[in-house]
Structure formats: structure tokens, C-alpha cells
Amino acid sequence: MNSMKGKVAVITGGNSGIGKATAIRFAKEGAEVVITGRRQSVLDDAVHEIGYGASSVVGDVADIGFHRRLANELSERFGKIDVYMANAGIINLAPSAEVSEEEYDAHFSVNARGVFFGVQSVGPLIRDGGSIIVTSSLAATKVLPSHTLYAGTKAAMAAFARNWAIEFRERRIRVNILSPGPVETEILGKLGISEADRPGLEQHMANLIPAGRLGRPEELAEAALFLTSAGTFVNGIELHVDGGMSLI
């Protein structure tokens, strides 16, 4: 239970869902975890839940200045870090014809630009031999209804990660892509679906998955832990953790 003892891991969007589950898992393995998010009160609750030396930095990944501030704080506190997980993201499902310019800009600002400039800013602090994980989505490679805009942003992230795996080769920093299928997280409540309709939506999604159910955040956290610690010869891959949904 000490595979990450003495290591520092930074997780954007670590205050909920997959990010928080991963932070908890990393902390259990001995890592000192720093999470980011936009609301201090939510971050405070998450830090309390994560425990073991966890801390937070509040800010919006869509703001390039935030990444520079985060890098400065990390440098002052730790000097170097070992793991950077670009996990923060937004999703608003709609057919292309209904996507506004504001929604388009918001999605690419968070999901694509936020990831790119996060790695650009924090990358120099990652210790040689460290690890970067980019949280993409099954939607980046599988066509799903009303996912066009979201899918485009996630495909961009995955392309960034594959290129970074080569760019960081001299420093032996591994870069991998974690692509979840439908997962039971708070984000399901942000899709414009009423609470009354949510069980039906979840059952519909479960029927599309060979495993017969949605994933759990803890299962994605285990995959992230593998990419970070056990998978020391895994680099530049896209790991689908989707219950087999990509096969259909």
C-alpha cells in the first residue's frame, strides 16, 4: 500500500468524481496529493475526505494565468512533483446545430486549452521518470448522440498526449490517456436530465455496456494508479475503462 510513498501528485478537477476518487487512491498509496477546482468550499470538503497531507489550489483551468500560479505554488512548496493528472473537464450534450458559440468556446477553453497550458506550465516541474495522465473519454473514438462538441475536445486532448509522450522522451516522463465510458459521477446530474428521468437514462446507458452497468469512480482510480505506478513500461496508450462499450 505504499507504491506512491514520498511522491507528489497533482490532479486538476480533483474535488469530485474520477478526480477525487483518484486522489483518495493515490493518498492511500502514500502520495501527497494536491487537487484543484473552482470552488474553495468544495475543495475543502474533498481535502478533508482525501486526508493524508492532501491540499488544494483554487482556480479555473480555463484561465491560463491559473496554471502559471499553480506552477509557482508547486515549485515553492515541493520543488518537483511526480504525477500530473489533467482531469478537469466540462460537458454539455447537444446536437451540433444547437451548440452556441459560447458553449463551443467554453468546452475548448476547459477541455483542450486548459489541458494544453496545464502541461506546458507544470511540465517543467515533473521529475524525470514521472507520469502524466490525461483524462479523455470514450466519446473521442466512438460516435455517441449529441457528443460532437465534447468529443472534439476530448480527441484534441488525446492527440496532445500522444505527442507529449514523444516530446518528454528525453526525460523519461510517461504520458498516457485514460478514457472512461459512462461512470456514476456527479457530472451525470449536469446533463440537463431531471432526477425523475435519470434512472431511465442510467439504465439505457447500462444496456449499451457489455458489463451491464455503469463504471464506478473507484474503478477509474485503479486504472489511473496502474498507469502511474505499476505500468512503468506503458507509455503513449489510450486505456479504455468502459466495460467493453467501445466494442459495440
Q: How far apart are CA 77 and CA 109, in angstroms?
A: 28
**Burial level of 97, CB count in 10 A (0-12/13-18/19+)?**
exposed
Q: How far apart are CA 233 and CA 172, in angstroms?
A: 10
Residue in the structure block whose three cell numbers are 490525461: 134
**Cross-strand bridge partners of residue 183:** 215
* The three three-digit cell numbers of residue 220, written as one number: 477509474
Q: Is there a contact between 132 and 169 (Cβ–Cβ < 8 Å)?
A: no
Task: Supply the DSSP string of 101-139, one letter for each residue.
Answer: HHHHHHHIIIIIIHHHHHHHHHGGGEEEEEEEEEE--GG
Q: Is there a contact between 46 and 14 (Cβ–Cβ < 8 Å)?
A: yes
Q: Quick check: is 150 catalytic?
A: yes
Nearest to 122 by CA among 156, 158, 86: 86
Nearest to 93 by CA among 206, 219, 205: 205
Cα dihedral sign, 157-61-40-226: positive
Angle, helices 40-50/17-28, rounded to nearest 10 degrees: 30
Residues known to be catalytic: 150
